[in-house]
Amino acid sequence: MKLVIAIVQDKDANKLRSVFVAHDIIATRFSTTGSFLRAGNTTYLIAIDDDKVDLVLSLIKETCSARQQFMTPPVSLNGDTAEHTFPIEVQVGGATVMVLPIEQFHQF
């Protein structure tokens, strides 16, 4: 059994939840915030059998697409205050995914 931790942009979160439900994948969802762009994210925790990990990864990859977007960072790259910042092009979306082994799994 594995624990899949998937961090996705809020814009993709509802669609991914619907895909999980359609494939009978149970996931715990909670809100998180990225540190650099301070944008809203959603983190999913999915405990899944080893033989279904590839399915979960492919669903995440198909549902959460990366895209380019202009954003004004909350602090400029040289550390000045926000009033001196300029928009920069950044990649947003996509997903950051970690797969970890589960030694024990209990449901009470």
Contact 8, 62 (CB under 8 A): no
| pLDDT tens, residue order, the chain (108 aa) | 999 999 998 889 999 999 999 999 999 999 988 765 566 889 999 999 999 999 999 999 999 988 887 877 666 556 555 556 678 887 777 899 999 999 999 989
In a domain, 80, yes or no: no
Residues 6 or more apart whose Cβ sits within 8 Å of residue 84? 76
Q: Structure tokens of 31?
A: 């809100």
Instruction: Tell me if 27 is assigned to some domain.
Output: yes
**CATH number reported for the structural domain that contains residue 26 in this entry:** 3.30.70.120
Burial of residue 49 (CB within 10 Å: 0-12, 13-18, 19+) is: exposed
pTM > 0.85? no
Alpha carbons 101 and 108: distance in angstroms, whole number: 20
What domain range is 19 assigned to?
Answer: 2-73+85-101
pLDDT at 72: 74
